[in-house]
Structures are given as C-alpha cells and as structure tokens.
Structure 1
C-alpha cells in the first residue's frame, strides 16, 4: 500500500538587498518576484531608488530551467501540487527573513510590500498571515490570492494599497483589471503605465512616488 508522508527539512534560501539598512532608512521595500524570475533579476529594476529606501528581494524556493532542460535557471513560489504546504513554507520563509534582518527594530521606517505578477498572490497571503508590521501594499500586474477574491480580508482591505498595470500587458486581461479594481476598492490608487507585463522605468516612477504617499 502506497502512503503519502511529509518531512520538514532544511532549505537554504537566497535573497538580495539594495542600499544599507540603518537609522536613516525611511522605507523598507520588500519585493516579491513573479513566475520564472529570480530575485537578482527583479531587484535590478530598483537600482535608481534613493539611499533611504532599503530594498529586500527574497527568491522563490523552487527553481527550474526556463527552457525545459536548459536555459536560464529561474524560480517560482508554488504550483498546484501540494499547494497548502508550499504556501505555508513561503509564509514561514518571509517571516523568518523579516526576523533575521531585525526589521522590527526600524520602527521609523515604513514597510511596503510590493508583489509583481505571481508575486501578488504570494505576497497577499503573507501580508494577511504575518504578525509583522506592514504599512502598505503595492500590486503590479497580478491577482490577489484566489481564496481572497470573493471576500477581501479586512486586514488587506484597510491597508494603504496601489495597483499598477501596463497598458500593453498581454498576460493580464481587461477583465482581470476590472476584477482587481472592484475587489481592492475605490480607496486603492490605480494607475496604468506605458509598458507590457513588466516593471519598467514608467512603472518605477509610480512606485517611487507611491512609497512616499502610502
């Protein structure tokens, strides 16, 4: 008889940072990448932010080649297989990273979570689950976690939020944009930028402007 079993095991995670975390830090921006990306790739989009913004980009624990057995190694946060354990693992990972970097000690800094593409659903689950301080949530070209789409949790509902989408995004349909606008509510800042399914210079300008106003 075949039985399914589970074992918690140690896993080494990789994360990237930009700028120095100090008493002069005004914003801690936690960036959650999308499917088939890496933390090293997404953090490069933010190299022009001011030095008082500390950028933290954790990388997905699941890696794969972008072209089957070859191509660039990339990462993702989860698939439908063992969905619940995958979610629990990355929520624990984010909480552990927050504690590891002593982010709670920087009480004067605003903590903003930014999710891109698959990183939106990933980060929304963590924002809802964590007991750590989160001051704002920026969502770019992605959906809130599917289990939250019928009823947005109060914790996320009251959090200052912004939603950005490219005007030529070929992966995020107009129907999904309308769904997100309705779900997030009128108090959420909604902006469309010139671009595709990406974080480009136009999107970054919106991000920089928003982290000071959320």
Structure 2
C-alpha cells in the first residue's frame, strides 16, 4: 500500500484561474400597455424594482386613461426563483458584481427598446423608476442626455456616482419628483433628509412627496403629479 504524506496535498499549482470577457448578442423581452395612437398624449417608460417581471409591473398602470397613456416596461435581465417553493420568478437589474459592464449592457438594451418603439417627439415623455429601477432610469437619462418632460422616482436611491454636471442638459421645464412611502421600511428619516439635500444640489427643481403607504408604487400619487 502506498503511503501519501501530508505534504503531497499542498503541491504547487502551475495553472491559475483567469476571468475573461466576451461580447455577444442577447435577446430580452419588454412589456407594453395600451396602444400608441393619434389619441396618445403621454408615453411612459417605466422601470420596475427587484423581484418584479415587467408583465406584472405594468399592470399597476391599468387605471390610467387607456387612450391618452402608452406604457413601456423594460425587463431586468437577471432572473431568479423567489420563495422556498421556487415556483415564482423575479428579476434584478444589477448587483455589486461586475456592475459597470452590466450597466452598459442594460443601457444598450433600453436604447434598443426606445429605438424600436419610435416614440413621436411631440408627445409628453415620462420616465419612471421604482425602487431599483430608479438607478437604471437616472443612469440612462444621464448617459444618453435624455431631455424627458417628466422624471418620477419612487422609493429608490439616487446613484452615488451621478453629479450635477451629468444633468446640465435638462431644462427648468423638466418636472422631477421623488415619492416615498411614510412607512417605507427601507428609508430611515435621517438618511432620507441627508439624501434630499444631496439630490437637491444635483436636480434643483426636484419636488419631494410622500404617501401613506410603505415600499410600493402608489398610483394615486402619480396621478396627482400629472
């Protein structure tokens, strides 16, 4: 019988693991609600939060006037099973892993959606981000210099890397609102007040609003803005 000494388990490794990068063409879905017609007044680009699929998130807007409002909901690319039974599926836009290149991938995906939808320039263009969707909405606006008519941020944090100079192209007519629930467990009062000051310096025309609920998209609050 051959005896293996303890030192044999610690032989030097000649090969090293290496992480590489590759580009490829990917396919993803997105959802729409209502139809883009001559009666349409508002086109909404709405970004969901963690855990949603776009086809469910977009249903939150069904109470809006169907003739005047057309909704486009991009779908976060990273899917995962939710709950212990692993039956429901959720999604996420980004994580702390490989964030910069994945952000570029997501923004190119949004570009492709908007290009395919051919949104008429004369219509009121509203961009909404909910929860994690705020980070995608604001990064897309800043990087592409999208001069939207209205930006609505709901229960989401403003990306740390974005500065005032990233939004100098916006006009004073751009309506910007942030809405948070008074009972939102993810927002502490002290942190909210500090964040308000920071964001106000970046987006001077921003208006801060609250609703009586928690970490959810309150449709009544959105209708008050319009």
TM-score bracket, normalised by the shorter chain, equals 0.7 to 0.9
Residue number in structure 2 paired with 1:72 = 88
Aligned CA-pair RMSD: 2.0
Offset of residue 96 of structure 1: 0.8
Secondary structure of residue in 1 paired with 2:134: helix
The structural deviation recorded for 1:184 is 3.1
CA distance in 2, matches of 1:40, 1:176: 32
8 Å CA contact 1:116–1:142 kept in 2: the answer is: yes
Show the counterpart of 2:69: 53
Q: Secondary structure at the residue paired with 1:36?
A: coil
Q: Aligned partners of 1:156, 1:180: CA distance in 2, in Å?
A: 22
User: Contact between 1:112 and 1:135, CA under 8 Å: does it hold in 2?
Assistant: yes
Q: CA deviation at 1:68?
A: 6.2
Rg comparison, structure with higher value:
2
Q: How many angstroms does 1:8 deviate by? A: 1.6
Q: 2:209 aligns with which of 177, 183, 191?
A: 191
Does structure 1 retain, via aligned residues, the 8 Å contact 2:141–2:147? no
For residue 154 of structure 1, what is the aligned residue in structure 2?
167
Give the distance between the partners of 2:76 and 2:84, measured in 1 at CA. Answer: 18
Q: With structure 1 as the length reference, what TM-score do the two structures score?
A: 0.88
Could you tell me which runs of 5 or more consecutive residues in structure 2 were left unpaired when the two chains were aligned. Answer: 1-15
Return the offset for 1:47: 0.3
TM-score, normalised relative to structure 2: 0.83
2:107 maps to 1:94: no
Q: Which runs of 4+ in 1 moved over 6 A?
A: none
Q: Deviations over 1:56-107 (max 9, x none)?
A: 111101101113671411000011111111100111011110001112xx12
Q: Does 1:125 align with 2:139?
A: yes
Cα deviations by residue, 1:108-143 (Å, 9 ceiling, x for unpaired): 211111001111112111111125552221000011
Structure-1 residue corresponding to 2:123: 109
- The aligned counterpart of 1:167 is 182
Q: CA deviation at 1:48?
A: 0.5
CA distance in 2, matches of 1:174, 1:208: 25
- SS of corresponding position for 1:192: strand
Alignment coverage as a number of residue pairs: 205
Cα displacement (A) at 1:170: 0.6
2:47 and 2:130 in contact (8 A); partners too:
yes
